[in-house]
Amino acid sequence: MATAPSDVLAVELLQRECHVKQPLRVVPLFEKLADLEAAPAAVARLFSIDWYMNRINGKQEVMIGYSDSGKDAGRLSAAWQMYKAQEELIKVAKHYGVKLTMFHGRGGTVGRGGGPTHLAILSQPPDTIHGSLRVTVQGEVIEHSFGEEHLCFRTLQRYTAATLEHGMHPPISPKPEWRALMDEMAVVATKEYRSIVFQEPRFVEYFRSATPETEYGRMNIGSRPSKRKPSGGIESLRAIPWIFAWTQTRFHLPVWLGFGAAIKHIMQKDIRNIHILKEMYNEWPFFRVTLDLLEMVFAKGDPGIAAVYDKLLVADDLQSFGEQLRKNYEETKELLLQVKCSNSSHSKDTVLLAFQLFLYLLM
């Protein structure tokens, strides 16, 4: 991950000192919330260096990471910060006359930036896709999207169609009042997410008891160790096992945690804000896709399964903490439905009810 211009320059220096005849392009990856906030200034500093401008020949790629940003601050805050970072990066690139290509480091699940390809592209900020973009396709998604010829054709067709549509019919820019509301919601969501995941003294013990996180390091299913450091808490855990563990219990905590607190804060501040939120959902593709993906996660989730895991695996003194999280889950779902003007979640759908029954049978 890149945190400063020196991270990029160090790689360029390495290539020069190793006498690489055809140097590879260097693509900075900004992933954590603070790094995304600092990304425009870091890229502007690079562009202010004459040698670097000659080196890139008017073209630059910047990668934004969805996995660790979500793990760092929660899904809502991470998504909003990446949206703003892209807007500012494009402004910097235009100022210096550089063609900027955004590289989206998405995972396969919603917690790692996954979702329908077409909607994901159309929800990007206006003016950030100029006929081209780059994306990562994770191992577990390759077979699903490119495993057969007709699947590969359909997938590439979706990418092409969405990229062209974004250029010809760009999404609207958010209104100032929408931005102000999102900024406020992001602050509240980040505060609650971090207060539980990183500051709550019971969380790590609960997480390791209620999910199979500690077992993943023993399984031969990943390309990298489950932790960056053998010791440490949640901060040292990689994003893949972090999401995988909560998916196993059907609780999906990294996706929804913080959203309910943000909505509740906005509505308590001024009940009329609910009308602005509904307007945002109806008119702004970014906000609509964010909420639709959250609803999809709630439809697939089941706190009842998480409660069974708690009953079997969690110590008695931590049971109340699990109950508190499940109450938060239900409150967040109800607040989401209020914003979307829905009377019931997609989980009422008979197909999804059958899917949930199948999950119980798997246990």
- 12-21, 131-140, 191-200, range with the lowest pLDDT: 131-140
Indicate whether 348 pLDDT > 90.
no
Three-state SS string across the chain, please?
CCCCHHHHHHHHHHHHHCCCCCCCCCCCEECCHHHHHHHHHHHHHHHCCHHHHHHHCCEEEEEEECHHHHHHHCHHHHHHHHHHHHHHHHHHHHHCCCEEEEEEECCCCHHHCCCCHHHHHHCCCCCCCCCCCEECCCHHHHHHHHCCHHHHHHHHHHHHHHHHHHHHCCCCCCCHHHHHHHHHHHHHHHHHHHHHHCCCCCHHHHHHHHCCHHHHCCCCCCCCCCECCCCCCHHHECHHHHHHHHHHCCCCHHHHCCHHHHHHHHHHHCCCHHHHHHHHHHHCHHHHHHHHHHHHHHHHCCHHHHHHHHHHHCCHHHHHHHHHHHHHHHHHHHHHHHHHCCCCCHHHCHHHHHHHHHHHHHC
Per-residue pLDDT band for 223 (boundaries 50, 70, 90) equals low
User: Average pLDDT in the 206-224 region?
Assistant: 80
Percent over 90 (pLDDT), the chain: 69
Q: Is the pLDDT confidence value at 147 over 50?
A: yes
Mean pLDDT value across the chain: 89
pLDDT digit string (tens) for 80-123?
999 999 999 999 999 999 999 999 988 777 777 778 888 888 89
Q: What is the pLDDT of residue 15?
A: 95
The answer to whether residue 293 scores a pLDDT higher than 70 is yes
* Single-letter amino acid, residue 238: R
The region that residue 25 occupies, defined by phi over 0 for left and psi between -120 and 50 for alpha, beta otherwise, is: beta
User: Cα separations (Å) of 209 from 14, 116, 200, 310?
Assistant: 44, 33, 15, 8
**Per mean pLDDT, which range of 76-80, 189-193, 351-355 is the poorest?**
351-355
**Domain definitions of the chain by residue range:** 5-168, 176-211+249-362
User: Once rounded to an integer, what is the mean pLDDT over residues 214-221?
Assistant: 75
Residue 64, pLDDT score: 94
pLDDT score at 326: 97
Closest CA to 193 of 266, 246, 254: 254
Q: What is the mean pLDDT of residues 193-215?
A: 93
Question: What mean pLDDT comes out for the span 307-331?
Answer: 96
